[in-house]
Amino acid sequence: MTGQTESPLIEIAGLTKRFGAFTAVDDVSFKVARGEVLGFLGPNGAGKSTTMRMLAGFMTPTAGRASICGHDVQADAVAARKMLGFLPEGAPTYPEMTVLSFLKFVARIRGYSGGELADRVDHAIGLTTLAGVRMQPVETLSKGFKRRVGLAQALLHDPPVLVLDEPTDGLDPNQKHEVRTLIARMAPSKAIVISTHILEEVDAVCSRAIVIANGRVVADATPAELAKRHPSGKLDDVFRALTQPKAA
Amino acid sequence: MRNTLIVARRELGGYFATPVAVVFIVIFLALQGVLTFNLGNFFDRNQADLAPFFNFIPWVFLLLVPAITMRLWAEERRLGTIELLLTLPITQAQAVVGKFLAAWAFCAIALLLTFPFVITVNILGRPDNGVIATGYLGSLLVAGSFLSIGAALSALTKNQVIAFVLAVAVCFIFAVASYPLVTDFLSRNAPVLADVARRLSVAERFQSFTRGVISLRDLIFFASFIGFWLFLNTVIVEHRKAD
Give the model confidence (pLDDT) of B104-113 as tens digits. 999 999 999 9
Looking at A138, A158, A178, the residue that finishes a domain is A158
Query: What's the CATH number where A16 sits?
Result: 3.40.50.300
- Residue in A58, A90, A96 nearest the CB of B242: A58
Looking at A112, A139, A158, the residue that finishes a domain is A158
- Structural domain contains residue A238: yes
Q: What percent of chain A has pLDDT over 90?
A: 65
User: What contacts B25, CB < 8 A, 6 or more positions away?
Assistant: B109, B110, B113
pLDDT at A246: 57
pLDDT at A4: 53
Backbone torsions φ then ψ of A194, nearest 5 degrees:
-125, 135
Chain centre to alpha carbon of residue A185: 15
Q: Do A59 and B242 touch (CB under 8 A)?
A: yes
pLDDT at A240: 82
Is B83:A91 a contact under the CB 8 Å cutoff? no
Q: Which domain holds residue B74?
A: 2-240
> Do A68 and A171 share a structural domain?
yes
> Do A113 and A74 share a structural domain?
no
Backbone torsions φ then ψ of A12, nearest 5 degrees:
-125, 130
Query: Average pLDDT over chain B, rounded to whole?
Result: 90
- Residue in B14, B84, B91 nearest the CB of A88: B84
Q: How far apart are CA A86 and CA B2, in angstroms?
A: 22
- Residue in B17, B80, B88 nearest the CB of A92: B80
User: What contacts B200, CB < 8 A, 6 or more positions away?
Assistant: B174, B177
Q: Do B91 and A59 touch (CB under 8 A)?
A: no
pLDDT beyond 90 at A72: yes
Is B103:B69 a contact under the CB 8 Å cutoff? yes
- Structural domain contains residue A55: yes
pLDDT at A225: 85
pLDDT beyond 80 at B18: yes
What residues pair up with A213 in beta bridges, in sequence order?
A: A216
pLDDT at B166: 95
Direct distance between the N- and C-terminal alpha carbons of chain A, in angstroms, rounded to an integer = 43
Query: Average pLDDT over chain A, rounded to whole?
Result: 89
Residue range A110-167, pLDDT digits in tens: 999 999 999 999 999 999 889 999 999 999 999 889 999 999 999 999 999 999 999 9
> Do A151 and A166 share a structural domain?
no
> Do A70 and A110 share a structural domain?
no
Residue of A nearest to B75 (CA): A94
- Structural domain contains residue A66: yes
- Structural domain contains residue A90: no
How many structural domains compose chain B?
A: 1
Q: Which domain holds residue A70?
A: 1-83+159-248
What value does the mean pLDDT take over residues B217-230? 95
- Structural domain contains residue A88: no
Q: How far apart are CA B86 and CA B67, in angstroms?
A: 24
User: What contacts A234, CB < 8 A, 6 or more positions away?
Assistant: A227
- Among candidates A134, A110, A64, A170, which has minimal Cα distance to B88? A110
**Cα distances (angstroms) measured from residue B80 to each of A3, A37, A167:** 35, 26, 16
What residues pair up with A63 in beta bridges, in sequence order?
A: A16
- Among candidates A201, A223, A200, which has minimal Cα distance to A210? A223
In terms of pLDDT, which residue wins out, A210 or B44?
Answer: A210
User: What contacts A87, CB < 8 A, 6 or more positions away?
Assistant: A150, A151, A153, A154, A162, A163, A164, A165, A167
Smallest CA–CA distance, residue A222 to chain B, in Å, is 29
> Do A233 and A128 share a structural domain?
no
Q: Do B17 and A96 touch (CB under 8 A)?
A: yes
- ipTM comes to 0.90
What value does the mean pLDDT take over residues B14-32? 91
Under the banding of pLDDT at 50, 70 and 90, the label for residue A169 is confident
Q: Classify residue A172 by its DSSP letter.
A: -
Q: Do A92 and B84 touch (CB under 8 A)?
A: yes
- Structural domain contains residue A75: yes
Under the banding of pLDDT at 50, 70 and 90, the label for residue A3 is very low
Residue range A174-202, pLDDT digits in tens: 888 888 999 999 999 999 999 987 888 88
**Cα distances (angstroms) measured from residue A169 to each of A53, A97, A143, A199, B242:** 18, 22, 9, 13, 22
Q: To 10 degrees, the CA torsion angle through A222, A223, A224, A229?
A: 100
**Cα distances (angstroms) measured from residue B105 to each of B74, B82, B101, B141:** 20, 22, 6, 12
- Residue in B14, B83, B87 nearest the CB of A81: B87
A75 touches chain B (CB under 8 A): no
What value does the mean pLDDT take over residues A102-109? 96
Q: How far apart are CA A8 and CA A34, in angstroms?
A: 7
Residues of A in contact with B17 (CB under 8 A): 96-97, 137
Q: How far apart are CA A201 and CA A209, in angstroms?
A: 11
- Among candidates A71, A53, A68, which has minimal Cα distance to A17? A53
A117 touches chain B (CB under 8 A): no
> Do A169 and A71 share a structural domain?
yes
A49 touches chain B (CB under 8 A): no
> Do A183 and A215 share a structural domain?
yes
> Do A163 and A73 share a structural domain?
yes
Q: How far apart are CA B33 and CA A184, in angstroms?
A: 63
How many structural domains compose chain A?
A: 2
- Among candidates B86, B79, B94, which has minimal Cα distance to A57? B86
Angle at A179 between CA A174 and CA A185, to 5 degrees: 125
> Do A100 and A196 share a structural domain?
no
Is A202:A41 a contact under the CB 8 Å cutoff? yes
What value does the mean pLDDT take over residues B203-220? 91
Q: Do A86 and B87 touch (CB under 8 A)?
A: yes
